Structures are given as C-alpha cells and as structure tokens.
Amino acid sequence: MALRYLQIFIPEDVVSNIDELLEGHEVLGTWRDATLNDRVVIHLLVPAEEAEPVMDRFEQAYAKAEGFRVVLFTPEAVIPRPEDETQHSDDTEHSENQPADTLKESRRVSREELYGNITETIEIDRVFLAMTTLSTVVAAVGLLRNDVAVIIGAMVIAPLLGPNVAMSLATTLGDFKLLRHALLTNVIGVTLAFLISLVTGICLPIDASIPAIASRTQLNIGDLVLALAAGSAGTFAFTRGLTGAVIGVMVAVALMPPLVTFGMLLGSGQSGLAVGAMLLLVANVVCVNLAGVATFLAQGVRPRTWWEKERASKSSRIAFLTWLVLLLVLCLIVYITQTSTTIGR
C-alpha cells in the first residue's frame, strides 16, 4: 500500500473539529502537536489515493486562514506495516459518501503531488539547457555512427518529454500559467536542439542512407499507434508516482532523435528527407499530448473548485479536439504518402 504523510498547519484561533473533516476517509494514523507559534500542527498518515480528497477538505475549510499550510511527504517505510485491505468494513460507507469523480481517482497520487513532480521537469535553467545540449550531441553521434546504444542514451536523457506531459496536465487542469511555462520550455528546448543539429548538418557530411537516419525519415501508422500507447503509459506512470517507469516511455517515444535527424538533414541540404523526420517529430508530440490529456481525464485529474472545473473542461475539450485533428491530418498524410509510393512502383 502506497502511503502519504500530511503535515497540516492551522491557526489556533480557527481550528475546528478535525474528525469531521476526516469523516468518510481512510486514515491510518492521526497525531496533533502542541501549539507552535499560534498554530496547531496536525499529522496524518493516509493511503496515497486519500491524500487529495483529504487535502481538498482542509483547503476548503481553512484556505482563507492566514498561516494555513499543508505539506505532503512520501514515507519510505512505516512500522508496524499497514495492512493492504482492499476490502474492509468501511468501504461501502466510503463509496456511498464520495462523488463519482473521487472514485475514478482511486490508486493515483494527489493532484498536488502530480503537479509538483511534473513542474520539476520544466524549469528553464542551466541544467535543462545542458541536458538538452548533451542529449542533442549524443543523439547526433549515435545517428551518424548508426549506434543504437548511443541513440538510446540520448532518448533516456529526454529533456523534452517532461514539458509535453506538462502541457497535457495544464490543459486538463485549465492552468494557463503552467501551459505558458511548458510551451516556453518546449520552444527553447526544441530551438536549441534544432540549432545544434543544423550546425552539425552544415559542418559534417550527412549520409541519409545510414539505417538509423533513414528509419527516421518515414512516418507510418505504426509510429502513431506506438506514440499513442507509450504516451498513455507515461501519463499513467506519472499519475501513479512511478517516475522510473517513464524511462521506458522516453525510449519508446523519443523526441530528440527525429528532431536531430531533421536538423542535420536540413543543414546538409536534404530538405525532402528532412520533412519526413519533421513529420515523425510532430507525430510524437501530437500523440504524447493527445494520449496525455485523455489519460489524465480518465484518471480523474480535475481542479478542486467548480469554477476551475468549468474552465478546465473547456480547455480540455479544445486541446483534445486540436490534437485529434492534427492526428487525423497526420494519418491522411501517411495514407497519401503510402498510396503515392504504391502507385509509383
């Protein structure tokens, strides 16, 4: 059983009956500290899926109180070990007291934890710029040497995956500030990688017949299906807090190799083949975002308040339809390309 530890600071003069706020939720442990700086400190140990509704309850009750704060921790171990009771006597009562949206959120991390994990990947700093540069160089070397192991190394670095997942989360929550930040990070990362690969293509001879390069100049339906499946799997990994599983998605839906291929081929004057690599890059971005929005919605990721939900619902529909239209356009391009190739033979 995945657990979360909540430390809640409440001004002493407004604290009320905590048991009422916890009613209907599974709480494994509750502790209360003595008053500290005119604030009461409540400690809660809860299953991971209960963290979000519990935090929402406290935020609704004390959000306007000065000094109110909730801090979330992930405990490494707990003694005695909690029993993983998927069915216990309170389940029926719990289910009856919770809205349908809450039931959909079962077994995922809280909205705040998900937000924190993803926003860490979109900071524009020296580390991000260095990782993007190194990933570009590694990908270029791997492509030119036709070395799969080196290319996978560039995939695992994957500085561009986080910003794209952040875009999906931002549209799902209707958080336009996060969306702008994610878009800016994406633009800076893509521009930097493109410029480095473009200069590489200008300075070095690029052999388009190298299998590692040639395979990234063609887009087919299989690439779209793979990107959709892997994008959904990556989003599930984020919502379950399994960030280690995202490494597999980084390899399956690699954004850097087709981007580097596009830049190098364009720099070497092979614009026709460069367009194919660009289409593969666009397909991966579209599929990751489309699958991300759909998976976040299926997992019940929603804002807390009703007016935020209205805004988020509208932005989610617009984003979903936009990505879907782009996917259909890509499918049409694949169909026309394959038909032309067949007729040409």
Q: Tokens for 295, please give them.
A: 């998976």
Structural domain count, the chain: 2
Which percentage of the chain shows pLDDT scores above 70?
Answer: 84
* Distance of alpha carbon 345 from alpha carbon 334, whole angstroms: 17
pLDDT value at residue 307:
61
Which of 104, 134, 159 corresponds to the end of one domain?
A: 104
CATH number at residue 99: 3.30.70.120
Report whether 289 contacts 319 (CB < 8 A): yes
pLDDT band at 344 (very low <50, low <70, confident <90, very high): low
Q: Are residues 292 and 236 in the same domain?
A: yes
Q: Cα 309–313–315 angle (5° rounding)?
A: 115
* Distance of alpha carbon 169 from alpha carbon 117, whole angstroms: 11
* Distance of alpha carbon 170 from alpha carbon 87, whole angstroms: 34
Q: Are residues 20 and 118 in the same domain?
A: no
Q: Are residues 100 and 145 in the same domain?
A: no
Q: Are residues 238 and 254 in the same domain?
A: yes
Q: Look up the domain containing 224 and give its range.
A: 111-344
| Amino acid in the structure at residue 25 | H
Q: Are residues 19 and 117 in the same domain?
A: no
pLDDT value at residue 36:
67
pLDDT mean over 247-269: 80
pLDDT value at residue 109:
78
> Which has the higher per-residue pLDDT, 300 or 265?
265
* Distance of alpha carbon 49 from alpha carbon 105, whole angstroms: 7
Which of 104, 132, 154 corresponds to the end of one domain?
A: 104
Kindly state the greatest CA–CA separation across the chain: 82
Q: Are residues 81 and 167 in the same domain?
A: no
pLDDT value at residue 242:
66
Q: Are residues 69 and 129 in the same domain?
A: no
Choice among 172-176, 262-266, 301-305, 318-322 with the minimum mean pLDDT? 301-305
> Which has the higher per-residue pLDDT, 130 or 119?
130
Q: Tokens for 327, please give them.
A: 């996917």
pLDDT band at 235 (very low <50, low <70, confident <90, very high): confident
Report whether 87 contacts 42 (CB < 8 A): no
pLDDT at residue 111 above 90?
no
pLDDT value at residue 267:
94
Q: Are residues 183 and 331 in the same domain?
A: yes
Give the tens place of pLDDT for each residue, 60-102: 888 888 888 899 888 888 887 776 544 444 444 444 444 444 4
> Which has the higher per-residue pLDDT, 290 or 339?
290
Outline where DSSP puts E strands in 12-73.
29-32, 39-47, 69-73
3-state secondary structure of 64: coil
pLDDT value at residue 264:
96
Tell me how far the alpha carbon of residue 266 is from its chain's centroid: 30
Q: Are residues 222 and 247 in the same domain?
A: yes
- How does DSSP classify residue 65? S
pLDDT value at residue 63:
84
Q: Are residues 178 and 311 in the same domain?
A: yes
pLDDT mean over 203-223: 90
pLDDT value at residue 189:
92
Give the tens place of pLDDT for each residue, 162-191: 888 888 888 888 888 889 999 999 999 999
What are phi and psi for residue 5, nearest 5 degrees?
-115, 120
pLDDT value at residue 66:
85
Q: Are residues 148 and 19 in the same domain?
A: no
Q: Give me the long-range contacts of 71-76 (CB less than 8 A, separation at least 24).
A: 71/6, 71/7, 71/8, 71/9, 72/4, 72/5, 72/6, 72/110, 72/112, 72/113, 73/4, 73/5, 73/6, 73/7, 74/3, 74/4, 74/5, 74/113, 74/241, 75/3, 75/4, 75/5, 75/45
pLDDT at residue 342 above 80?
no
3-state secondary structure of 214: helix
pLDDT mean over 258-282: 92
Which of 57, 74, 104 corresponds to the end of one domain?
A: 104
pLDDT mean over 119-126: 85
In this structure, the dihedral spanned by the alpha carbons of residues 320, 321, 325 and 326, taken in order and rounded to 10 degrees, is: -40
Q: Are residues 204 and 310 in the same domain?
A: yes
